[in-house]
Structure 1
């Protein structure tokens, strides 16, 4: 009987150890999977719901727009509109998947090939340079983690990505990603990025625009179109090629894409426009209650006028000085605002914040009070040395013209006449007139107040001149025309302000007549622009402040120049640099407006026979609050003083000799404050 022999295969030492290691490895893997599963399960329970994640953005996006719709400033993180997966264009979805995670629909949230490549590069270079992150991992990091390249953070990112894949569908994850990922420029999500860089929503995004946006994720600051347009276009070309390689677009479609032809949104200006936006944005708190939805703030700013204003100030302001300008339309809309020569250097807004002495520009209120009290432009007054309670005002140049018309006194800014008017009508009534016309700063009632010693703001003075242009009715400056959500829902719309007649129209007409004369032949000649202009210069002692304020064709503009430390500036007079800047701006600002004549042919109230105005009788004046509304108060008693003579002196050679101090001089260059009386009648 044959014997069978059982032959056993013997294993060597190496084989035994290999088997043991293999078994240990399998056990370790199983344990690792179990542990990972536990961590994933825990993470899954801690992840917010899909609806909660959609509602999680913090901070409100605010876009400020000029009158023509141009975005001039963006504030806060921009989240745009939330677009569902079906609303998102296929071009955008394909571009993002192609360039960021080509195997997105094949992996469970983590791509082993990408992770292997990441670890290989880490071992080779000694640092993390390639993350190998999937779209799901990027979403997890964007929501729950930071961007630190640490091993521990990477493990947490993987766990969260796996948990998300078990909780959400691929479409939900892609929807979250495309609405939350950061694209630079403060924009989170493709809709915000599309609005930021192309000024339209993402629903109608083109393939070229989608390629530009998809290319931003890798390095938002490096590839941002606003930071480096060429880098953004080059990166978009790469994205298009990747899409073609992935089979998402054909070669013909790829060849038809021209990223360079994409029209980028205009970059928000960072200089003088910011003075305006700094003024209007704090007003939102009193206009709307919405604090979460992205909003568009539509303003009254005219960019053409704003550029002209910036240039006018920069080109005319004396060296070492600052300048400010405010332009107000007939309805109160602020069309331009410059608060300084350079916003980047100094964001202090001298147009609405700084308080400075207005000098002779304050005579607007002096003469308005005089006209309302009974003076007429053709009344004759005496330009002579005066003393009031020890104060002795002097004219520029120290000369006196003798008997001149009120029109001449205003045109040549005679200080002695203003002082006598103040003594006659009372400085309290002049202060009330200033309050009536919108001056909100403290106003003193000393005799010298008639020369503009009370500090005020540029915007307040401009508002006052605008009220005269409006035939004596109040004008309230405003900068916000409407506020909407980015979906177009109206949250606020400006309404016409209540109109109050501050002075009778014949007073405003006579005042306009005086100011028109001041520009035509007086101290404001440098403000002539070839169409009817009414205005007034202002210069303070030692040339510390220079002003010109005036209006033409329905637009009122105020210009101030001076140093922040109130030091003297040689040659700074209202009729020079400020008037020249005013004219340079207004030539551009009113170029497209019809030429308008002023309503200066007014009918004055009839004077009773045998009575002369301003004889010192008591007259009650209404008191007005800072908004120009009448309030109750004690009557102001007008003091006797300046009494117009009944017969004017002939403007002959003798008048000229007295007016010029015995010297026949040439008339000063345009813009120079003239100390003399006018050697011919104003008619």
Structure 2
């Protein structure tokens, strides 16, 4: 055999041997690399089990959606139950080759790379729907080589475990679509008020466009961006042959989202959500029918903003709060915790504790009635000095002895201090206030008669409900009915309890009617509607109050500034009383 032939054979054998060795070591190296990437890989079998925060859905009194929190899931949907355009829209925008690839799509990667290079920006991604499902089910959003390799490994596992239809069903039921909604059924109900099986073409397109950026593109967060993205999906459906261009254009013109409940009802929603864990222990999904009346809420917001933007701005009144309550039960019908919830969620109706001023006086007068006085009993309005303190009467000119009813109607300070002494003093007045739901603290001296303690607007409104309903203490609440996983459960509503004798409650009510008919609260009166209430103003016009009622409705109002800077001569009988009038006038009789 020629030496040249033998030499070539030796070389070939060496190449084959080195190739084999390289293949073995390469396989070992690849296995080692995959082992490194897979050592902390989540167990897919257990990761497929849903783990989530229980959802809480709040409905208004008439059943309209108010808010959602936690992780909202709808019914589990099957492909056979969905309109064809639902999966078609998703695949048109996310993965046109879904049914052709094995979990990874080399052609899709090359196409995305070419588009990104030619456009000079990241215009397309190369991930398949299966890779997205692997990421959403098992991995974090971290951007790293390790996460991408793990994503690919899990995608291959999913493709080996499930059929294409099963993968698509899992995706449609588990994908996050913004605003706490997981899956197309939850999102369909949240954004459009329909189940997934009734989604129209344009609605399906909007939902299909959300996985790219669900928190930023969803209709609740940005309706304009959601509409643009939906139109983009419709064009992709046309390019894919699922729609004609004319159909896509027609569907794009139909995109419109139902109006959201008022943003300012967020104060009410926050208040209701505050103690749910203790009231409804467990992990069940909750649907709560609240007491909020959306028409009353809208009226309160509109009238409060109109007053603050006009006469309020002229008088340096920058903030306000309003509570509307059912006197018989304590159900809160409307709550505005400030001027604009979007600028800050601090709830001035619930969390702000301010000096109540003269709106505290009815508790002093009630203590006096319980000590044997009557509305016709008289009290002096002459100047008064206690130690170094001399309460003033403002512009009031002394008249001598006044009936208690007149002294309260005109909010005479010196008379209130004398009534306090005849009612047993500061401790008796504080005890009456606490009995009606005010937590305090209260001073243990005569200044309590002028409202130098602390109270929230919600507490005061609930306390005045007892004057309106015949003496029953009510607990303010916002939940009327509850369901857990669709089953009715008790909302544990507090029952009204007797706190004031009916005759005393009727006497205070009659005295508060005099405040509106001929006293400091005349601006609150609405012709043809009986109303009662009390004005309150604190030192240097830092707080101005009006709390009153008409029929079975109690309305509490506070105006002021968060930093306690004085307003320009804003008293309880001016702007707060006017706002009470404007709200009461807009309520149905």
2:173 aligned residue: 179
1:418 aligned residue: 416
Is residue 2:576 matched to residue 1:563? no
Shift of 1:572: 1.8
Where is the helix percentage greater, Structure 1 or Structure 2? Answer: 2
The CA RMSD measured in Å over matched residues stands at 3.6
1:553 aligned residue: 551
Once the two structures are superposed, what CA deviation does each residue of 1:83-141 show, in whole Å capped at 9, x if it has no partner? 34455444322322333223322322222321332344466678764332221121112
CA distance in 1, matches of 2:429, 2:42: 69
CA distance in 2, matches of 1:556, 1:357: 20
Task: Please list, as runs of the form range in 1=range in 2, the aligned pairs for 1:183-332 lying within 5 A after superposition.
Answer: 183-220=177-214, 223-240=217-234, 242-243=236-237, 246=240, 254=247, 258-261=251-254, 264-267=257-260, 269-270=262-263, 272-291=264-283, 293-314=284-305, 315-316=307-308, 317=312, 318-330=315-327, 331-332=329-330
Indicate which of 105, 108, 111 corresponds to 1:114. Answer: 108
Task: Please list, as runs of the form range in 1=range in 2, the aligned pairs for 1:177-576 lying within 5 A after superposition.
Answer: 177-220=171-214, 223-240=217-234, 242-243=236-237, 246=240, 254=247, 258-261=251-254, 264-267=257-260, 269-270=262-263, 272-291=264-283, 293-314=284-305, 315-316=307-308, 317=312, 318-330=315-327, 331-388=329-386, 391-397=389-395, 399-427=397-425, 428-485=427-484, 488-495=486-493, 497-530=494-527, 531-576=529-574
Shift of 1:248: 5.1
CA distance in 2, matches of 1:204, 1:36: 48
SS at match of 2:576: helix
Contiguous gaps of at least 5 residues in structure 1: 1-9, 594-683
1:653 aligned residue: none
In 2, are the aligned partners of 1:327 and 1:336 still within 8 Å (CA)? yes
Residue 347 to residue 103, structure 1, CA distance change in 2 (3 Å):
closer
In 2, are the aligned partners of 1:191 and 1:202 still within 8 Å (CA)? yes
Indicate which of 133, 140, 144 corresponds to 2:138. Answer: 144
1:131 aligned residue: 125
TM-score (norm 2): 0.85
In 2, are the aligned partners of 1:529 and 1:587 still within 8 Å (CA)? yes
Shift of 1:301: 1.6
CA distance in 2, matches of 1:84, 1:170: 13
User: In terms of Rg, which structure is larger?
Assistant: 1
In 2, are the aligned partners of 1:360 and 1:451 still within 8 Å (CA)? yes
1:670 aligned residue: none
CA distance in 1, matches of 2:406, 2:81: 71
SS at match of 1:493: coil
SS at match of 2:367: helix
CA distance in 1, matches of 2:475, 2:237: 57
Shift of 1:398: 5.6
In 1, are the aligned partners of 2:42 and 2:138 still within 8 Å (CA)? no
Shift of 1:246: 4.8
In 1, are the aligned partners of 2:368 and 2:419 still within 8 Å (CA)? yes
CA distance in 1, matches of 2:254, 2:368: 64
CA distance in 2, matches of 1:242, 1:196: 25
Residue 400 to residue 262, structure 1, CA distance change in 2 (3 Å):
same
1:104 aligned residue: 98
Shift of 1:35: 5.6
Once the two structures are superposed, what CA deviation does each residue of 1:347-402 show, in whole Å capped at 9, x if it has no partner? 33221122222222111012112223332223344332344456443322262111
State how many pairs are aligned. Answer: 568
In 1, are the aligned partners of 2:235 and 2:248 still within 8 Å (CA)? no
Once the two structures are superposed, what CA deviation does each residue of 1:278-321 show, in whole Å capped at 9, x if it has no partner? 22211201221233x44333321222222222233331444254
Residue 527 to residue 140, structure 1, CA distance change in 2 (3 Å):
same
CA distance in 2, matches of 1:34, 1:84: 43
In 2, are the aligned partners of 1:287 and 1:492 still within 8 Å (CA)? no
Residue 225 to residue 86, structure 1, CA distance change in 2 (3 Å):
same
Shift of 1:458: 1.3
1:629 aligned residue: none
SS at match of 1:352: coil
CA distance in 1, matches of 2:516, 2:216: 54
Shift of 1:211: 1.9
Shift of 1:237: 4.4
